[in-house]
């Protein structure tokens, strides 16, 4: 009952803060955020689509690997800039489009955090590849295509009783236990250290301090999970209504998550002072 009241209180606080931001900063500022968000997403999608259609970017060669890393850094730097703009919006600072390109100095820190998150998924990835061999000649470095094909194969065999029995005999109960156990590490990392990147973007912390601080902030996992489920539901609902509503919902979700991050910072500081 106490946890339920706490979550309702949190949702009310975040909703009132969002409403206050839109009123104080003006609707035009919020529209600029939505428009910029849409431009970034469409640009990345169009650039990625053009490259995939004209360049074999997943080829296992040094030039293609360097190109992929460069593109990843370029897109990641743009998102860092956009997140900085959102944090400035929460701080009621003026909108500045140039901030989108002013935060590439944070890229190495964010890149290392991304690498750590990928490393937490490595045992799970190795187990999947062990059970379902990865054909380097077919997929190259296109891991996403491998996962998509694997998912499609499972979906197809689910409707085919004979194929499903073959897969079921190949994947035993013990394999499922291992899969869930290995999945726990990246899930735990995501829940406890999701604030680390924001702490670097917002406060410029080093990697070690951002991880330690994030761990201290994210002790209430139930609160985070429920908030995440609510935002996912809102985004799914807005997606049905069309692209414009999807972008509005996604921008609103980012602002809500960033407000929650600030709420956690304030709560931990108040708790420290009271002690």
Residue 268 is predicted with a pLDDT of 58
Phi, psi of 236 (to 5 degrees): -65, -40
Residue 274 is predicted with a pLDDT of 40
Evaluate whether 201 touches 171 at the Cβ level (below 8 Å): no
Q: What is the mean pLDDT of residues 195-217?
A: 93
Q: Which of 31-35, 101-105, 170-174 has the highest mean pLDDT?
A: 31-35
Q: What range does the domain containing 129 cover?
A: 2-274
**Residue 271: pLDDT band by 50, 70, 90 thresholds?**
very low
Q: Using a pLDDT cut of 90, give the percent of the chain over it.
A: 41
**225 pLDDT higher than 50:** yes
Residue 270 is predicted with a pLDDT of 47
266 HSE (CA, 13 A, CB side) = 8
**53 pLDDT higher than 80:** yes
**Residue 253: pLDDT band by 50, 70, 90 thresholds?**
very high
State pLDDT tens for residues 30-47.
Answer: 999 999 999 999 999 999
Q: Which residue has the higher pLDDT, 28 or 5?
A: 28
What gap in Å lies between CA 256 and CA 248, rounded to an integer?
12
State pLDDT tens for residues 117-159.
Answer: 999 999 998 888 887 777 777 777 777 777 877 777 666 665 5
**Residue 265: pLDDT band by 50, 70, 90 thresholds?**
confident
Number of domains in the chain: 1
Residue 161 is predicted with a pLDDT of 56
Residue 8 is predicted with a pLDDT of 83
């Amino acid at each position: 009952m106490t946890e339920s009241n706490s979550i309702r209180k949190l949702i009310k606080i975040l909703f009132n803060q969002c409403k206050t931001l839109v009123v104080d900063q003006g609707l035009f500022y919020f529209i600029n955020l939505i428009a910029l968000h849409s431009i970034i997403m469409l640009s990345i999608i169009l650039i990625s689509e053009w490259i995939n259609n004209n360049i074999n970017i997943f080829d296992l060669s040094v030039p293609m690997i360097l190109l992929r890393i460069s593109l990843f850094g370029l897109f990641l730097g743009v998102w860092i800039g956009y997140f900085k703009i959102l944090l400035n919006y929460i701080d009621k600072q003026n909108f500045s489009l140039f901030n989108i390109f002013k935060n590439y100095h944070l890229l190495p820190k964010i890149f290392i955090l991304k690498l750590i998150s990928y490393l937490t998924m490595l045992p799970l990835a190795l187990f999947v590849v062990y059970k379902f061999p990865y054909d380097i000649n077919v997929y190259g470095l296109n891991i996403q295509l491998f996962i998509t094909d694997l998912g499609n194969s499972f979906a197809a065999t689910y409707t085919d009783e004979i194929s499903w029995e073959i897969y079921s005999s190949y994947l035993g109960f013990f394999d499922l236990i291992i899969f869930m156990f290995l999945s726990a590490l990246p899930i735990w990392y995501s829940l406890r250290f999701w604030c680390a990147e924001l702490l670097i973007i917002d406060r410029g912390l080093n990697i070690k301090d951002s991880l330690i601080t994030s761990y201290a902030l994210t002790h209430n996992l139930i609160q985070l999970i429920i908030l995440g489920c609510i935002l996912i539901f809102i985004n799914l609902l807005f997606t049905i209504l069309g692209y414009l509503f999807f972008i509005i919902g996604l921008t609103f979700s980012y602002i809500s998550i960033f407000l929650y991050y600030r709420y956690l910072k304030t709560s931990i500081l108040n708790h420290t002072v009271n002690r």
